[in-house]
């Protein structure tokens, strides 16, 4: 009986270790929240306009800040953060600008991509997706690769994104997220041979691929 119990215990430990290994090697994104330092819009207000400033001359940035204008005249500004210096022990990849802003159908949710300095290219590339739901914080999603394309789904409740390398074969990692939590809901990869999604790919991914190819 003791041998049997010991065997079951060891089996359980192996299963747990295997599960932990799967979690460690998973392709889940990094989720970060930052504060909005602006007056908040009324709960009944909706976004009527948004625009990105040009970068100040000789600033070293590619763009300026993002301005979000509401129906109650509130203006929320997402600022490009100040640059930090790299050190011997820590390399800093600074944000260089904001690009590709999109408004969800609910008119309260807006997203954009954050262009970051990239040591592998001579120009900044979009490496994160930011989402603002007219509250106190901005949700930032970073997967480790370049943002090829992204869009809102379900009126702004979800985001579909395609990530991939800046150079190399264009296959694409398609990921679906919950906008409130940033949690990844689904993932599918492109087929390297066909350079597209397989026929059995989920519908959200197929529609995302179609929009990306026709942008």
Mind listing the pLDDT tens digit for each residue in 116-147?
A: 987 767 778 999 999 999 999 999 999 989 99
Residue 17 lies in a domain: no
Residue 60 lies in a domain: yes
Per-residue pLDDT, 179: 97
Q: Among positive and negative, which fits the CA dihedral 41, 42, 45, 46? A: positive
User: Could you give the residue ranges of the DSSP H alpha helices within 39-119?
Assistant: none
Residue 132 lies in a domain: yes
Per-residue pLDDT, 93: 79
User: Mean of the per-residue pLDDT values for the chain?
Assistant: 85
Confidence of residue 86 (pLDDT cuts 50, 70, 90): confident
CA distances from 102 to 112, 140, 152, 156, 199 (A): 6, 15, 8, 10, 28
Residue 70 lies in a domain: yes
Evaluate if residue 58 carries a pLDDT over 70.
Answer: yes
Residue 7 lies in a domain: no
Per-residue pLDDT, 168: 62
Share of the chain above pLDDT 90, in %: 66
Domain count, the chain: 1
Residue 19 lies in a domain: no
Residue 135 lies in a domain: yes
Domain that includes residue 149, residue range: 28-213
Three-state DSSP class for residue 171: coil
Per-residue pLDDT, 52: 98
Residue 101 lies in a domain: yes
């Amino acid at each position: 009986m003791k041998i049997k119990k010991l065997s079951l215990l060891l089996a359980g430990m192996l299963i747990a270790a295997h599960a932990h290994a799967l979690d460690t090697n998973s392709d889940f994104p990094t989720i970060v929240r930052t504060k909005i330092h602006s007056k908040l819009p009324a709960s009944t207000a909706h976004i009527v306009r948004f625009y990105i400033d040009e970068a100040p001359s000789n600033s070293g940035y590619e763009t300026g800040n993002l301005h979000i204008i509401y129906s109650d005249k509130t203006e929320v500004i997402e600022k490009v953060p100040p640059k930090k210096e790299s050190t011997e022990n820590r390399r800093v990849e600074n944000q260089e600008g904001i690009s590709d802003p999109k408004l969800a159908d609910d008119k309260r949710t807006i997203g954009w991509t954050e262009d970051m300095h990239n040591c592998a290219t001579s120009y900044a590339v979009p490496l994160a997706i930011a989402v603002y739901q007219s509250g106190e914080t901005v949700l930032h999603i970073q997967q480790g690769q370049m943002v090829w394309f992204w869009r809102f789904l379900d009126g702004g409740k979800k985001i579909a994104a395609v990530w991939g390398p800046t150079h190399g074969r264009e296959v694409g990692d398609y990921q679906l997220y919950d906008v409130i939590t940033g949690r990844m809901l689904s993932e599918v990869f492109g087929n390297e041979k066909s350079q597209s999604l397989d026929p059995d790919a989920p519908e959200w991914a197929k529609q995302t691929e179609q929009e990306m190819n026709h942008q």
